[in-house]
Chain A
Amino acid sequence: MAEVVIEVNNLAKYFPVTRGLFRQKKIADVKAVDGVSFTIHKGETLGLVGESGCGKTTLGKCILQLLRPTSGEVLFESRDLCELSDKELVPIRAKLQVIFQDPYDSLDPRFTAMDIIGEPLRIHNISKGKEYRDRVAELLDLVGLARYMAERYPHEFSGGQRQRLGIARALALQPEFIMCDEPISALDVSIQAQIINLLDDLQQKFGVAYLFISHDLSVVRHISDRVIVMYLGKIMEISTRDELYKNPLHPYTQALLSAVPIPDPAVEIKRDVILLKGEVPSPMNPPTGCVFHPRCYRAFADCPKIVPILADAGGGHQVACLLYETSRP
């Protein structure tokens, strides 16, 4: 397997919940990410799926140190990013980039396209003058925008074009890793495929690794090499793509997959949907044992008591569910 770019060990991020107006007292923790470990390899796409509030974005931000994790390690080039100061992180940030969800919020409306794409180049003092303008033009070509658009402002671009600007900005410093946080969910169906193909092409060209965060399971299947399924801050299942979609083990993954409607009436009429009971519980007060057990249709007596461990299930497949735990050491 290709070399590891990023290794995440037992990462956790807790947000304190406080009460009181003047003297704020901590009353609880929201465990947004709770003890998560995985690796990302060179040139691969790791999909990250889960419902809103499950900690996908927090996890991504913790990897990039946009949020400082509460505990755990993020190893990049054999250094733990969590231990580095903000100043020490600056040169590393050139290699770890991000594409945000909303192309309307993540571009400065007073910057031209050139200012936006070129900002990383200016911050890291990579190029100046003609060289700078040439590099911006080259980046515009790469993401399928015309060079003359460099002087335009964000409001003059459509949603899909703005997302292309965001991608060009992320690519400017030739990073090794890009966190893509729901990069297509704000776009129209016909535009989504354009952006996915673009991300695909760029990965093949530059060998960049993606963490692709999304709630759309069909898109994740298309773009990912491996997939993580998260629920309430924990990993429920990690697997290679084909294995996960062919043979989902965790009841949560099974329910998620069955809830995705398939665009074919002839198929839909024959399909059974696993309807989950209730909603995602509050991460402030998560259920005991397996966090999924109150909504699980296969839960049994042990589920509220024992926390399942993410364990190997063979074929590059790991699952955290008591149904698959045969014995405990």
Chain B
Amino acid sequence: MAPLLEVKNIRTYFHTQDGVVKAVDGVSYDVNRGETIALVGESGCGKTVSALSILRLVAEPAGKIISGEILFNGVDLLKLSDAEMHKMRGARISIIFQEPQTSLNPVLTIGRQISEGLEFHKNMSLHDGMLEATRLLKLVGIPHPERRVYEYPHQFSGGMRQRAMIAIAIACQPQLIIADEPTTVVDVTIQAQLLELIRNITKELDTALILITHNLGIVARYAKRVFVMYAGNIVEYGQALDVYHQPCHPYTAGLLASVPRLDEPRKNRLQPIEGQPPDLIAPPAGCAFQARCTYSLPQCSKEKPVLMQITPGHFAACWISQRGTKPWQK
């Protein structure tokens, strides 16, 4: 069966005073029905922009999707009219933003904000929408939903606002949910609650999920397949187990080595990745990671590596692993 979503070679650039920022520079990935994938990477690597591009929510005129295809159920979203796209957002594809504080409307009740999508996409009346909103709030674990549905975002705590966001996202039973760092602003105990909730709901509704995060632990806990991004490109992807246990890109290996793990004996010293991510206005020639890579070859600074299959289903864009060696593996 064809995948639910196929992102093909998209490029999203931002025009700034300093020059063109190539935030997403030729990224491809796919999501199957009901599957959870993760996009991992550090700030500025393009993971959020690549997801916003799917919904065509990139801020114009500064930002623009230059090229590529985004096939959702075989239809190219980039070719849809604004009205057609409007019908897609919230109904078929929805998003959970990072900060519920700024992404909820402060002057509308929570119930109204959940009902909004139902009224637009499902032609519900406000009354039915509010009833459905109450049911959804109960589903996402908010106590006293019949009262809470009439409250405003400022009356909700951070964790509860994020629960309300989840209710908005699932209201029209979309086929795909994009969760953009859904738990970065909440505490660990609330993070665990919210992620369990997202997992249970997506399973129950058979919804596909794109989980965007910088937290390698969350990815390990929730995603089956992982796409690692660096400087606007996907540098490695595959089954989570393969990527974590046999990283084929030195960046992935470096990230995994740099975080302390609670289940392993304490090390005396952490192994950081030295240096900083490159400037996306004038990216270096060749591999973007080359300057920070301990193992780089002469070829790395000349030619940009492309994604190639290293083992079945496991791809990496690295000249070193494409030669069949992985010097970072002990």
Interface residues of A (CB under 8 A from B): 51-52, 158, 160-161, 188-194, 196-197, 200, 215, 217-219, 221-222, 241-242, 245, 255-257, 259-268, 271, 273, 275-276, 279-280
> Which chain B residues border A222 with CB–CB below 8 Å?
260, 266-267, 270
Which 4 pairs of residues, A with B, have the shortest CB-CB distance?
Answer: A261-B217, A193-B272, A263-B216, A51-B187
**Assembly CA distance A1 to B150 (angstroms):** 58
Interface pick from B75-83, B169-177, B251-259, B306-314: B251-259
**Assembly CA distance A256 to B189 (angstroms):** 6
**Assembly CA distance A178 to B218 (angstroms):** 32
Tell me if A267 and B270 are in contact (CB < 8 A): no
Contact indicator per residue, chain B 233-260, by CB within 8 Å of chain A (1) or not (0) = 0000000110011000000001110111
Tell me if B276 and A261 are in contact (CB < 8 A): no
> Which chain A residues border B255 with CB–CB below 8 Å?
189-190
> Which chain B residues border A242 with CB–CB below 8 Å?
266
In the assembled complex, how far is the CB of residue B278 from the closest CB belonging to chain A, in whole angstroms? 11
In the assembled complex, how far is the CB of residue B215 from the closest CB belonging to chain A, in whole angstroms? 7
In the assembled complex, how far is the CB of residue A199 from the closest CB belonging to chain B, in whole angstroms? 11
Q: Can you list 16 A-B pairs, Cβ within 8 angstroms, ordered by A?
A: A188-B42, A190-B254, A190-B277, A193-B273, A196-B270, A197-B272, A218-B260, A245-B262, A259-B189, A261-B220, A262-B217, A262-B263, A268-B217, A273-B192, A275-B192, A275-B193
- Summed over the interface, the residue pairs from A and B with CB atoms below 8 Å come to a total of 125
> Which chain A residues border B218 with CB–CB below 8 Å?
261
Main secondary structure of the interface of A (DSSP, over half): helix
**Assembly CA distance A190 to B270 (angstroms):** 11
Tell me if B220 and A265 are in contact (CB < 8 A): yes
Question: Within 8 Å of chain A (Cβ to Cβ): is B88?
Answer: no
Question: Within 8 Å of chain A (Cβ to Cβ): is B274?
Answer: yes
Tell me if A257 and B262 are in contact (CB < 8 A): yes
With contacts A189-B214, A255-B189 known, is A262 near B220, CB below 8 A?
Answer: yes
> Which chain A residues border B214 with CB–CB below 8 Å?
188-189
In the assembled complex, how far is the CB of residue B144 from the closest CB belonging to chain A, in whole angstroms? 13
> Which chain B residues border A51 with CB–CB below 8 Å?
187-190
Question: Within 8 Å of chain A (Cβ to Cβ): is B221?
Answer: yes
Q: Which of B273-298 contact A (CB under 8 A)?
A: 273-274, 276-277
**Assembly CA distance A266 to B243 (angstroms):** 12
> Which chain B residues border A221 with CB–CB below 8 Å?
260, 262, 266
Tell me if B188 and A218 are in contact (CB < 8 A): no
Question: Within 8 Å of chain A (Cβ to Cβ): is B9?
Answer: no
Tell me if B263 and A264 are in contact (CB < 8 A): yes
